[in-house]
Each structure stands twice: as C-alpha cells, then as structure tokens.
C-alpha cells in the first residue's frame, strides 16, 4: 500500500494482517480523491471538505484514507479502529510520515463513538462488509457531534449489501468499482 497523491505521494504504508482487513485499492482511492477535489458541486467553492478540514477515518485499518486526505490538504485526521494490530499499523504510518502533530489514532468503535469537540468536515466509513454497520455508525456519529450540515460522508460497501435509508441524510453520488461501492452523503440542506 502507498499514498497515491499529494505531498506524500509514493510513500509506503504499513498494513495490518488479518481476515477483516480489506484495504481500499489504490485505483479506488485515486478515483475517490479526484471526485473529492472537485466536490464544489455539493459545496460553496471555498468549503471543500478535503482542504484544511478535519477528517475522521472510522474502521481505519491501515489509515490509508485519512492519510491520503492529509497528503492532499486536510488539516487534521482522527482514526478509529478497535483492532490492536490496525492501531499499531496506523501509529507506525503516522510516525513514518511524520504526521504526529496532525493525526491521532484511537481505540474506538464508530457505532459507539466518543463525543466530538468539533464536527468533522469529511468522514470515511469503510466497515467490514456484510455486517450492516454504515447506518448505525452514521446515526451514532451524528448523535456524538461528529456530523453537521457541512460534513461529507464517504461510505465504502459491497454493492450487494443493502443500505437502509438514513433519516436526514441524502446520498449525493454513488460509484461502483468492481467489488466495492462508494456512497457520498451529507445531511439534507
């Protein structure tokens, strides 16, 4: 695994081993960040959630999505994962990339998150497939203050997994890349 764009482009990332680890492919990350860099169709021109924002990478695994966001202009990233191997890989990646002042990893569950001091501008949800964790995570993160009307939520899932409607949340765009689907969402405006 590596960072595919931005100031840290080409830098390698540690990836935790395990059957539940399913890193987002480089080509999918590249496509996703190309979409995010042109997200102004959903926001005012000076409000792109990627630039100078706070990113939450929930179900972080290696932290590749949040680290990619930092490489491309995000101000700060917070990583949630429950697995000790994943947290060790994230900590290693943060140190290797010298991002200790802009990134922190927490043993946390997105379905029971800690309270946020500030809402995130961008949230990545990449839970294990076939466990229906996207809807309860969004509801819990919203209740804990991580989501406000400017937060862009990016969820990765298996296209065969149904996602229930989430009250107050609009799906802005959906993209399929092989065996994964990316849904881009935010609160109704």
Q: What pLDDT digit, counting tens, does each position of 59-101 carry?
A: 999 999 999 999 999 999 999 999 999 999 999 999 999 999 9
pLDDT score of 188: 81
Once rounded to an integer, what is the mean pLDDT over residues 167-182?
91
Domain holding 27: CATH number?
Answer: 3.40.50.150
pLDDT tens digits, 134-148: 999 999 999 999 999
Cα–Cα distance for residue pair 74/161, rounded to 1 Å: 30
Q: Which residues contact 77 (CB under 8 A, 6 or more apart)?
A: 54, 55, 56, 57, 63, 66, 67, 69, 70, 99, 102, 103, 104
- Structurally, the chain folds into a number of domains equal to 1
Using CA atoms, how far residue 73 sits from 8, 128, 168, 172, in Å, is: 10, 27, 28, 22
Model pTM score: 0.92
Q: Does the structure show a pLDDT above 80 at 159?
A: yes
State residue 115 phi and psi, 5-degree precision: -65, 145
Q: Which residue has the higher pLDDT, 22 or 170?
A: 170
Look at residue 36 in the predicted model and tell me its pLDDT: 87
pLDDT score, position 42: 76
pLDDT in tens, 5-52: 999 999 999 998 765 566 677 788 899 998 888 776 777 766 788 888
pLDDT at position 66, please? 96
Indicate if the pLDDT at residue 164 is higher than 90.
no
pLDDT at 43: 73
Q: Which residues are 171's β-sheet partners?
A: 185
Domain with 108, as residue range(s), is 2-187
The edge-to-edge listing of strands for the beta sheet with 76-81 is 103-107, 76-81, 54-58, 122-125, 152-157, 180-187, 169-177
Backbone angles phi, psi at 76, to 5 degrees: -150, 150
């Amino acid at each position: 695994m590596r960072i595919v764009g931005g100031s840290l482009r080409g830098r390698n990332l540690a990836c935790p081993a395990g059957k539940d680890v399913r890193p987002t492919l480089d080509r999918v990350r590249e496509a996703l960040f190309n979409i995010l860099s042109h997200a102004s169709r959903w926001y005012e021109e000076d409000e792109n959630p990627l630039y100078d924002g706070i990113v939450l990478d929930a179900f972080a695994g290696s932290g590749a999505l949040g680290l990619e966001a930092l490489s491309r202009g995000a101000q700060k990233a917070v990583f949630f994962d429950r697995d000790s191997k994943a947290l060790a890989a994230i900590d290693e990646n943060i140190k290797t990339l010298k991002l200790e002042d802009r990134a922190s990893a927490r043993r946390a569950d997105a379905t029971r998150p800690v309270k946020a001091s500030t809402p995130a501008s961008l949230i990545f949800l990449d839970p294990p497939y076939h466990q229906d964790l996207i809807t309860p995570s969004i509801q819990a993160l919203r209740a804990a203050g991580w989501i406000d009307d400017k937060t862009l939520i990016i969820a990765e899932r298996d296209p065969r997994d149904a996602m229930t409607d989430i009250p107050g949340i609009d799906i802005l765009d959906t993209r399929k890349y092989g065996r994964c689907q990316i849904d881009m969402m935010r609160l109704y405006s």
